[in-house]
Amino acid sequence: MQPHRELVLVQGCDASILLDESPAGDVPEKESSANGFTLVGLRTIDIAKSTVEGMCPGKVSCADILAFAARDAAVAAGLPRYEVAAGRRDGMRSNMDDLPGNFPVPGHHVPRLTELFSQRGLSQEDLVLLSGAHSIGGAHCFMFSNRIYNFSQDADVDPTLDPEYAKWLRQMCPPRQPGDDPEQAPKVKFDAQTGERLDVAYYSELLARRGLLTSDNALIEDPQTRAMVENFARNEPLWQQKFSQAMQKVGMLDVLIGEGKGQVRKQCRLVNGQEKEEKQQQPQEEQEEQQPPELEEEEQQQPHQPQLPWFLQRQRPPVLLPWLRPHPRPRRPFRKHPVADLVNGFFRGFH
């Protein structure tokens, strides 16, 4: 859900996060340090796009695929199904320079987060609702190491953390050494209780002072957002309903609709007309034409081949007796393609 839920705050729901580097050399959003190797699932989008493009060429945009994929991922994680509108078109530019100042980061507090969301027409309640997506997934150690090592001059560990939780985090994430590769750092779940399910346990963890990121913990430090956290923690049906509505709202941010606005990309990684040629041209080795040596007249004469009897000239297929004939192979049960449910979701959205 990350590409759909968070990155629409940059340019809107136009799938710009999927674009590779442009021929002009613009470094795309996906290469920003704000995303880096934490952005996953793009290969799944490529497979889905290729599958749908084979069925309905030029009809389903990458932006729509992201919206449906986010919905299906949420449903697979336990959220009730909700409707998603279709008809978006894809953006034609992506530049990582657009991210600074427009993108929430783990160290932000409520005032800054609220400001970023309000710039996109989202409320503070939307902020708290969408933060609930941290009920699944996790974060690498470097994203919160400042809370468990050298926090301040007075405390090595953030005092707002539950002491036992902080002790466990330090065991999971040893102090970073010079030369350590952040990509190889361990990953810790946001929600230690039900980390594979999208539910309100995330809010209960916050109230127990077990919020992983600074931006998570900030929600219980602010009086207004804390009241929302407490409300959602004890009312899961309410949160599910409002979370679905917030996701629908995110999916409609600055969408491109109608001819002349954006395009429907053939490949989600490339703007139309910039498709990479995958076929490699291999040089053909020049071969010298060699003339066969002239044969003498005696060698040119072929020896006489005696004609076989008629009953040996016909090649009949072998006849198998009934008890030797192979039985027909049983039909194997149909196995769904990994993105079959995702593709079905696209078409459900058009009906």
- The number of residues making up the chain comes to 351
Alpha-carbon torsion, ordered 37, 39, 42, 45, to 10 deg: 170
Structure tokens at 260: 């002349």
Indicate the pLDDT class of residue 36, thresholds 50, 70 and 90.
Answer: low
- Report the C-alpha gap between 96 and 58 in whole angstroms: 27
Lowest mean pLDDT among 55-69, 208-222, 314-328: 314-328
What is the pTM assigned to this prediction?
0.73
pLDDT tens figures, 79-100 = 999 999 999 999 998 888 877 7
- Of 348, 137, 128, 154, the closest CA to residue 246 belongs to 128
- Report the C-alpha gap between 153 and 171 in whole angstroms: 22
Q: Which residues does the annotation place in the binding site?
A: 10, 12, 14, 16, 29, 104, 134, 191, 194, 199
pLDDT tens figures, 122-181 = 999 999 999 999 999 888 898 999 999 999 999 999 999 999 999 999 999 999 888 888
Q: Which residues does the annotation place in the binding site for Ca(2+)?
A: 10, 12, 14, 16, 29, 191, 194, 199
What does the DSSP assignment read for 224-275? HHHHHHHHHHT-HHHHHHHHHHHHHHHTTTT-B-STTSSB--SBTTB-TT--
Question: Residue 178's pLDDT is what?
Answer: 82
- Report the C-alpha gap between 128 and 116 in whole angstroms: 13
Lowest mean pLDDT among 102-116, 121-135, 180-194: 180-194
Domains of the chain: 16-272+339-348 (1.10.420.10)
CB 189 within 8 A of CB 134: no
Q: Which residues does the annotation place in the binding site for substrate?
A: 104
- Report the C-alpha gap between 132 and 127 in whole angstroms: 9
pLDDT of residue 331 exceeding 90: no
pLDDT of residue 295 exceeding 70: no
CB 204 within 8 A of CB 230: no
Structure tokens at 153: 């001059």
User: How large is the average pLDDT for residues 94-111?
Assistant: 84
- Report the C-alpha gap between 40 and 245 in whole angstroms: 24
Read off the amino acid at residue 208. Answer: A
pLDDT of residue 316 exceeding 70: no
Q: Would you put residue 295 in left (φ > 0), alpha (ψ -120 to 50) or beta?
A: beta
198: helix, coil or strand? coil
The residue ranking higher by pLDDT, 196 or 46, is 46
DSSP H or E stretch at residue 189? strand 187-189
Q: How far, rounded to the nearest angstrom, does the alpha carbon of residue 120 sit from its chain's CA centroid?
A: 22
CB 140 within 8 A of CB 185: yes
- Report the C-alpha gap between 123 and 155 in whole angstroms: 34
User: How large is the average pLDDT for residues 48-59?
Assistant: 94
Mean pLDDT, the chain, whole residue set: 79
Alpha-carbon torsion, ordered 115, 117, 120, 121, to 10 deg: -100
What does the DSSP assignment read for 142-165? GGTGGGTSS--SS-SS-TTS-HHH
Q: Which residues does the annotation place in the binding site for heme b?
A: 134
- Of 21, 17, 20, 19, the closest CA to residue 2 belongs to 17
The CA-to-CA distance between both ends of the chain, in Å, stands at 23
